[in-house]
Amino acid sequence: MNRLLIVGAGGQGKVVLDCAKLMKSFDEIHFLDDNKIGEEILGHPVIGKIADLESLRGDYQNAFVAIGNNSYRLQLIEEIEAMTYNVPILIHPTAIISEYAEIGSGTIILPGAILNAGCKVGKGVIVNTSALIEHDCYIGDGVHLSPTAKMGGEVTIGEKTWVCIGATIINRIKIGSNCLIAAGAVVIHDVLSKESVYGIPAKKKK
């Protein structure tokens, strides 16, 4: 039996379950969530809490972290890999992925997303519904690209940055780590690490 544990049974957990089922790679899928033990999520049981990962390793080969917080998601992936779980890459069947794209473990590519040639997407990244990653982009570990976010060619996004829904980053822009790019922003200048930018063109708040 090839079993998968999804860590986190909230909204992201549902999306991960849906994608994992469509891939038809797993015989059984169960959840872990400290606050939902005993519940069923879309017909799949929450069998324990996150601290149970270590003791469940004998029964489950695969674990995937479905937690929206970028830092916590990345930290948990590293802990799970250290426990020797396989941390898969999940790709929705409607996503379009170049054969020349690279994708790290624990990353999910959701419905309608496009990854073009030469892009490198790190570990624990969420490439959400209909997000676009153009050619030669570099997307760091733990990044979240929200639905319909668009990266032009050769864009760099540093680790754990959150690009919110509908934001557009024009080609060759460099965005640092732990940034927030607000919904609908159009980024035409580089953004330093830890900065938040909003609007068109995207700027820091005064």
When the beta carbons of 172 and 201 are compared against ligand COA, the nearer one is 201
- Active-site entry in 30, 44, 92, 135: 135
State the residues that interact with ligand COA by CB under 6 A. 128, 146-147, 164-165, 180, 182-184, 196, 198-199
The CA angle 196-198-203, to the nearest 5 degrees, is 80
Tell me how far, at minimum, the Cβ of 68 lies from ligand COA, in Å: 7
Tell me how far, at minimum, the Cβ of 183 lies from ligand COA, in Å: 3
* 145, two tokens: 């690209």
Rounding to the nearest 10 degrees, give the CA dihedral for residues 158, 159, 164, 165.
90
92 is catalytic: no
Tell me how far, at minimum, the Cβ of 121 lies from ligand COA, in Å: 17
H or E element that contains 145: strand 144-145
When the beta carbons of 53 and 67 are compared against ligand COA, the nearer one is 67
When the beta carbons of 153 and 184 are compared against ligand COA, the nearer one is 184
Tell me how far, at minimum, the Cβ of 198 lies from ligand COA, in Å: 4
Cβ atoms within 10 Å of 102's Cβ, excluding its own? 12
- List, in sequence order, every residue forming a beta bridge with 71; answer none if it has no partner: none
- List, in sequence order, every residue forming a beta bridge with 49; answer none if it has no partner: none
Give how far Cα 182 sits from Cα of 52, 98, 196, Å: 36, 28, 7
When the beta carbons of 146 and 168 are compared against ligand COA, the nearer one is 146
Cα separation of 92 and 201, whole Å?
32
Residue 29 carries which side chain, given as an amino acid letter? I
Residues annotated catalytic, as ranges: 135
